[in-house]
Structure 1
Amino acid sequence: MASTSRGRPMAVKNKAAAPVQITAEQILREAMDRREVVIRAPEQKITDVDELQHYRARKRKEYEDTLRRQQHNVGVWMKYALWEASQLEFERARSIFERALDVDYRNHSVWLKYAEMEMKNRFVNHARNIWDRAVTLLPRVDQFWFKYTHMEEMLGNVAGARVIFERWMKWAPPANAWQSYVMMEMRHGKDAKMKERCRAIYERFIVCHPTVDSYMKYAKFEKNHGDPDKCREVFERCSSELGDDTLEEDFFMHFASFEAECQETERARAIYKYALERLPKAKSHEIYRRYTNFEKQFGTREGIEDVIISKRRQQYEREVAANPHNYDIWFDYIKLEQSCGNNDRIRDVFERAVANVPLVHEKHYWARYIYLWIQYVIFEELTTEDVERTRLVYKAALKVIPHKLFTFAKIWIMFAEFEIRQMDLKAARRILGRAIGMAPKEKLFKSYIQLELQLGDADRCRTLYEKYLIYSPENCHAWSKFANLEKSLAENERARAIFELAISQPVLDMPEVLWKAYIDFETQQDQFDRARSLYDRLLEKTKHVKVWISLAQFETSQNQLDKARHVFERADKYLKAESRRSERAQLLEAWRDFERKYGNEATQTVVSDRMPRRLKKRRLLTNEDGTDAGWEEYYDYEFPDDAKGAANIALLEKARLWKKQRLEATEDDA
């Protein structure tokens, strides 16, 4: 608005509409007409190695120039490292990630992208080291712990995942971390032992987080595992340990619902009444409604139940009409009909539910949908006992799944097991063979092989293992299982050939497992020279201290004490030359234990003279800006021969200086 020289707004003299009106369409059209032409760089096509090297050099120069200007721009570091990884230059990519961490190691994205790059390219040990560094430096970042434990669990290293969880729990993480620990134990533990482990975790959980939610999760665990007495004990402990002031409506509803499910109607009624007396009316609307429904459910008149079911049925019909792809509503609707026991109604709801195929062909959208089919076939087989209809439902389910994109091994395996129960082995084999042919998965191979093992058909097992290893040649467990099959059939040469083929693979997910299995196989066959040869071949690939110790222990088990000492000597010499202090200390401890058991005073003295001294040292830390950040304590090892070496170096330095002085004096005289 215009204003006068004194700052006061001027009065508008003419308030009529302008003769020419400006519209949004006119503004957009002018913007489109006057926009500048975008110049795009021409596309390049690389035809030979020289052009590729030139392209890489140019890209690297661009990235390095950008980083010199924007050193703290994490996005540039990420693009640079991932570009190197896309060029299969993994050492360069690692170097860039390490440089990025030197710039800002507190940036979560750097650690995540770094580890994801290693996992994506199946560098498991590299990824493990990265996660270990991340959780050590940033222990309060829960995402690192979740990713680390998930990776170990996916690799089948349950013991390693458990160790990581225990490290995490020492930091008193949030509730979802404890729950993840429990879920991991439930997935991989046996029944009795799993329960004890989970209970121990929950006991620590409620000490770390003494809240109502923690106790309720504990109670839910006991309830799901069929121990109502312990579940009731957890609810009672919550009430006594936390006090009535902390208890809310949700706690009483769960407690009463549990007692009602256990057919303890009087207990449930007492809990409802106690809650209504203690809770304020403003916070007890839902529990009052639950109590009303409870009295209707356990009342004397059967007509109340029919009215409630009819009302619920109408509600479900409205909900599925509004959103037919909400499968949770269909599950609830099916449960309602199953509680009534009318098979025709149940079948009708199942048919309507499975007709709503997910609109997106992505597996996680189909997970809940497939369980509709699973419940459908279980209903037809167990409730109606209609074999032919069950078979038709299985076929319909498999026809719906887009197997070219993804599949569900569970439905294939259930179909095959159904045919086995009908004593039709040929059909079961045909189903599993078709599944492997259309969409091979590790679970399918394992199930098919287990079936043939139970039937005792070794030739089919061999054929399946061959296809399995063509599909997944890096799977060490598959190689070991295949070799163990041949071993159980007394085909030792076959087993040995399989092991040789396995260790010759360029990529293996867990090579240490495979080498150990091979060595154990040769040892069990009393082929000790072959086992030694395997150890020598393994040492050519890796000089890890555990391999040296294992070889020494092997020689000890064969009463070859001199050979064991020779192994320790070789290992000590190598580790000393490589300056691997901590590993050398570990080796010397194993050697000392060996000499204490098998050696004499002289051999024990040889080892004890080499034992290092553990020193606590300090080093100065600096911030990113170069200022001092304080001192850090760390442990190091000092070996006796290090001190001798230092003395010899000092003596040589003095001799060099003396010789230099003599030469200078000679030149002056000349």
Structure 2
Amino acid sequence: MSRQASQVKNRAPAPIQISAEQILREAADRQQAHEIEPIVKIHDAEEYQAHLRDRRKHYEDNIRYRREDVGNWVKYARFEEENKEFERARSVYERSLEVDHRSAQLWLRYAEFEMRQEFINHARNVLDRAVQILPRVDFLWYKYVYMEEMVGDLPKTRAVFERWMEWMPDDNGWLSYARFETRCGNVTQADSIMRRYVNTYPSARAFLRFAKWAEFEAKDVALARTIFESALSELEPEESRQARVFKQFASFEERQREYDRARVIYKHALSLLHLGETPSLADEEDLTNAERTKREELYKAYITFEKKHGDRQGIEDVIVTKQRAQYRERAAEHPFDYDCWFEWAKLEEEHGSVSAVRETYEKAVANVPPSEQKDHWRRYIYLWIYYAVYEELVNADLDRAFQVYETCLSIIPHKKFSFAKIWIQAAKLLIRRRELTAARRLLGRAIGQCGKERIFIEYVALELALGEVDRCRNLYSNYLKAMPHNCKAWFKYADLEKSVGETERCRAIFELAIAQPALDMPEMLWKGYIDFEIEENEGENARKLYERLLERTSHVKVWISYAQFEGTDIGKGLEGARAVFEQAYDHLKAQGLSEERVLLLDAWRVFEKSNGSQKDVADVEAKMPRRIKRKRMREDESGKDLGWEEYFDYQFPDDEGGASNNFKILEMAAKWKQQRAEASDDDSDLDSNE
């Protein structure tokens, strides 16, 4: 490459960026010239001594200019050492120590000088002085014990270690002492040293290093396991609950192929440290970032362990732990999400312990709905029911189950609303506990505080199962006083009297029931009363009831039932039934009820087909109407016309008036149309023949 090509064309700095060439050139321009010391050639002793004087004067000048600079003293001493002037070198070190006797580097250089020249006693003296002045500088102790061990003076080495241990050094000092004893074959003495170490520093770090030493250096598996167990039981909670303790303990058991032990350790860590869960705000403040990271690593190690050595159950436990963490997080964010609590409790029932299930239910029921609206309490009440059912069926603890019901009843605001299900479930539990008196007392409280129909029904069913008819009568009396409009209660009361053979009582109850001014389902009462009289073969009483019922209502179903009754054995027979049908037909015709008349005629026709002759059936069918389509104007609420709409109506043959005439006109028009069609067919046949 030519010289001209290597020159920079534009040496001015760029306004935005600087080229690499400019940077290199600027660095080269600013370099200082390197001073090369002259080569000194010595030919005789005088020149050598002169050279030494010059160099000593140079070093003395440097020391005089910078007395505190350790490097000047060390260089001076090394110069004397290289020239075999050991006394002078020793003198330089002593002078430097007078300047700065607390410089650990000076003591170290001094001791290394004595050791290099194999002045063992001098080195021992220097190190002894050094550790007395600077007992907290560990590398001086390391150098001291290293020298003593290298020269083979084991008692002296042990004595130095003991002096060092009195100052309670860090972990590595104790471990070095134990390793020294291990190398000497004194494993028992090394064990004693490590025990002194963990007593001096009762921390997780100390116990873990002790366990590691016992496993890998002492080869004592039982001792290592004991150390891990002691760490979990003897240390303070903030030390024993560190994630690395559990991780190293589990890894140790895994290395020993004790997989069941390792699994137990992992599970204990999961429950104690809540691994895999989102920590609360308080835990977030207490945990450091390093500890949080180690807990995540511990959880990942557990998952890896189960994948390697676990069975299906173990993997499911890992999944359950993760699901449990998700439910705990959901419950913390939305404590009134009762579906979350249901799912969490079910998960604990399937995979958790009894204490875990109880704890989950206790946390769930502690979230009482803030409002006093019954709709907000419906899901919440089932938490108590599930809790009590679990205690009774799974744990067989009836006392605790009843305590759950009692606590629930004390929380419900009965003055505003109540839940009959809770009262009934609690009473049934008392019955299963064979506490009948307590169950009756509880149901009495329920009637007073809740007073719902279901409580009366369950209470009556209980007394009826026990054969206490008088108690049932008293309950029905209170039931009907509270709900006189309830036809179902009247009917069940009458059915009770009927079942015990009290016919007159049953009839009297029915009479009282139908005499009530307001009933919710009166048709059920009348039907039950009539069926009762029919079952008792009291046809006349049943007929009178039908007549009384028809005075109150003229519903077509009543007429049909009345007619069918007359057609039975205790009625007046076929003629009586036909008379009722005729009477009903005339009554409905007078009221203009077309659809009801159609229903009546259908029932009448079925009756005649079953009991009458063909002529009787034909007579009824002659009365059947014709279904026709008509139009009418639709109107809105204000009376405004909305347009025409089509609807279906019935045209009866025996109806009088314009409707009947219209029907006849339509029939005549249909016949005329048919005749005309036949005539046109005849004309077409004649044309074809021609």
What's the TM-score once normalised by structure 2's chain length? 0.48
Determine which structure has more spread, i.e. the larger CA radius of gyration: 2
What's the TM-score once normalised by structure 1's chain length? 0.49
